[in-house]
Structure formats: C-alpha cells, structure tokens
Amino acid sequence: MEGNHANFGSRMGAIFAAAGSAVGLGNIWRFPTEVGNNGGAAFILIYILCIVIVGIPIMVSEFVIGRHTQSNMIDGFRKLAPGKWWCIIGYQGVIVAFIILSYYIVVSGWTLYYSVESVAGSLTRNHKYDEYFQAFVSNPWMSILYAVIFMAIVHVVISRGVQKGIEKFSKVMMPMLLLIIGVLVVCAFSMPGIDDGLRFLLKPDFSKLTVSVVLSAMGQAFFSLSLAMGCMCTYASYFSPRTKLVSSAMSVAVIDTIVAVLSGFIIFPAVFSVPGVEADAGPGLVFITLPSVFNMAFQSIPILGYVFSSLFYILLFLAALTSAMSLHESVTAYVHESLGMSRRKASFLVAVSYMSLGVLCCLSFGPLRDCTVMGLTIFDVFDFVSSKVLLPLGGLLLVIFTGWYLDRNLVRDEITNHGTISSHVFGIFIFLVRWIVPAAIAVIFIRGIVEIL
C-alpha cells in the first residue's frame, strides 16, 4: 500500500495524467458533433477563445487548491476554510464525479464493444448499423458485460496507485492515443472528401455565429477539460512544489484542444466523402453513421477501411479510459485518505458502487427505457443533473472561492511558485476568476436550466 498521500514522479507524468483526464469522449465524440451543428471553423475559433478565457483559469483554480493542500478535493476545502460551508464544493465535486462515471462507463463500454467488433472485422461485414447499434445497447447482458469489463480495467489501474498506476499508464496511453490520431489524420488525407472537410474545418463562416453558437462553444470548453469534477484538484495534489501550475494548465489545454481539432480532421473528410451524410449528423455520428462512412470512403481499398475503423474505435476506447481513470481517482482518493481505507479496498468499493449505478444506466436503454422522470431516462437524468446543474454550479462556486475568499498571497505564491514566475500572470488570473469566468459560467448555467423548462 502507498503512503497516505503520493506524488507524481515527473512533470511529464503529471501533464500526461491531467491531459488524459481532459481528453475523453467529449473530444472525439461531442466536439465534432458541436462543430457540425454550429458551422465548423467559426465555432472552433470561439471554442479556443473560451478555453483560454474560461477553461484555463478554472483549471488553475483547481490546481491551486489541490497542490497547496496536498489533499483530495473535500479535505482541501476543509483545510483552506475550516468550519466554513465552502467544503460543500468538495462534496459537490466528488458527487458529480460519481454521477458522471456511472453513466460514462456505459458509453465507454460501447467504445470497447466497437473496438472488439472492428478488430474482428464485424463492422465491415454489417451494413444495417442503426439496427446493429440498437440491438447491442438494448441487450442488457451485453451492454452490462462490456461496461463491467471497462470498469474492471479502470479499477486495475487505480488500485495500483499514483505512480505505478495512473502515471505509468498515462505515460503509455497518451502517446499511444496521440500516435493513433496522427496515423488516422494521415489516412484521412487520402479520402475523396478531404478538400470539403478541410474547408469546413478551416474556413470560418462568421455569418453562422449566433449567441447560441457562442454559448455552445463556451459550454464545450467548460466540460471538455474535466473541470469542477474534483479530477484536476485531486491530480494537482500529486504535483511537486516545482510544478508550474499555469504552464501545466496551458499544456493540458493545448493537448486537449489538439485532440479535439484533429478528431475533426479525421471525421469530416470521411463524412464529406460519402454523399447524403450530413456534417451535423448528431450524437449518432460515431456509432451509427461512421461505420458505414468508413466502409464507403475506402470502398476501393477495403483493408484500409478495416484499419481506419479499428484504429478509430481503439482511439475512442483509450480516450474514454484516460478520463474514467481520473473520475475514479477523484472518489477513491477521498475514500482512501479521509476514511483511512487502503487504496486497494477503497478503489474496489468505489468501482463496485460505480458499477451498481452503471447497471441502471445500461438498463435504461433496454428493460428500464420506460422508467422516466420528466420524460428523461435514468441515463439522461444522470447526464442532465451533472452537466446542466452540478458542474456549472460547482465551477461557479470554485472560482468565487479562489478569486474572492482565498488569501491573495496564498494564490499568488502558488501561481508564481513563490515569486519565481512573473506576477503579471497572477494579475491576469485574478481578474479572470473574479469577473469574467463567473459571468460566463452563470450564463451557461442559466441556459442549461432554460433548455429543460
């Protein structure tokens, strides 16, 4: 068993772990969908601006709390504000991580299933992809089986600890993920729709920019970086005193954005290569539309379609895995450190708890599909409560705590590494977290509530 609190062994390990937390299904699945729905390149430019203005300051806020306290999110707030109600932000982070991973493992199980099926060649043989997908997700035994296998893989990594588990596997999986993306981008340039795909991604059409598009970009930036879930705060507690918080946050944001944009370079040339397929095909794009697109785009060279499809779904699986690790660790760290339980026991208890709720989410596509709340299935309720309510609310409280409650000297010392970095960075940060970021999050929060009413 590790000591009470571990640390990453290297700066690169810390960045890869944090980047792995940020890089997930949201980059490869949700981001291309948002780009397709909101006009392409113009959306990407607004998204990058939101990452800089909103995403990085929130991430740095979590880094400050985690690194300074060397604790999980709940204990971190207890140390910084003893006897105060601010610790509710820590509980919120742990709860939202628990809720998100409970339904995230369901979709992650789908990525594992599609990875296996693509490598086995089944995706190239099947041409009724809508029925193929529905048959799988509505089969309770199959969907639960793959969710359990996925959860077991995540558990094995977390149970091994910070350096031997999270850091070691992140150092392997993140380069592998980036390598696969590079190979797929090269393959995408051989598709007939490459010109249209590049034009869609690189030529902004600002006439399509609306308030809704800007808010969508802001929301995607907020959720893409795994913020307000306790993940970044927990990982930062494993940072060394020498780690530069702002540059680390920027490195994570750059990796996360590159993966998201390159996913567009992979998907849209394929989409534009097949007549009748729209760029705004929506969430069904990955599991229903793309298998058919990959086969048709490489119809003249079937083996290339097989390789492209297999690598793409393995990429999706790896992205899901790195994010799931951080969500698991966020809760495990609290149970391990605060309740005095060994890491192996804590990670096992947390994994079983996740899977118990995950089963309900799996069943919401089958036997429990008619069990709804305000028209939402169990899966949709988990998604709505976490993404539309708890995440924005937690993020808002987090930046208010960092910008207005925490001692300015404490925040300055952490951001400047006790004066070794220019204080101008601190001035920009404090202005953003006090005024700009709270306003932006408030708008996202209100919009999310209005959408459901």
Global pTM reads 0.94
CA distance 38 to 67: 37
Q: Which of 59, 382, 97, 54 is nearest to 217 (CA)?
A: 54
Q: Which of 46, 20, 22 is nearest to 34 (CA)?
A: 46
Residue 204, token pair as written in the block: 């902004």
- Mean of all residue pLDDT scores within the chain: 91
CA distance 332 to 16: 20
Going along the chain from its start, the domains and CATH numbers come out as 11-274+282-452 (1.10.4160)
Scored b (16 or more CB within 10 A) or e, 366-392 reads eebeeeeeeeebbbbbbbbbbbbebbb
Residue 272 contacts residue 200 (beta carbons within 8 Å): yes
Confidence of residue 1 (pLDDT cuts 50, 70, 90): very low
pLDDT score at 105: 97
CA distance 178 to 20: 11
Confidence of residue 3 (pLDDT cuts 50, 70, 90): very low
Percent of the chain beyond pLDDT 90?
69
Residue 290, token pair as written in the block: 């793309």
What backbone phi and psi angles, to 5 degrees, belong to 376? -105, 135
Tell me the pLDDT tens digit for each residue of 284-330.
678 888 888 888 877 778 888 899 999 999 999 999 999 999 999 99
The helix/strand/coil state of 376 is: strand
DSSP letter string over 5-46?
Answer: S---SSHHHHHHHHHHHH-SHIIIIIHHHHHHHTTTHHHHHH
Tell me the pLDDT tens digit for each residue of 103-148.
999 999 999 999 999 999 988 876 688 899 999 999 999 999 999 9
Segment 249-254 shows an average pLDDT of 96
Alpha helices in 339-384 (DSSP H): 343-363, 378-384
Exposed/middle/buried for 40, CB within 10 Å: 0-12, 13-18, 19+? buried
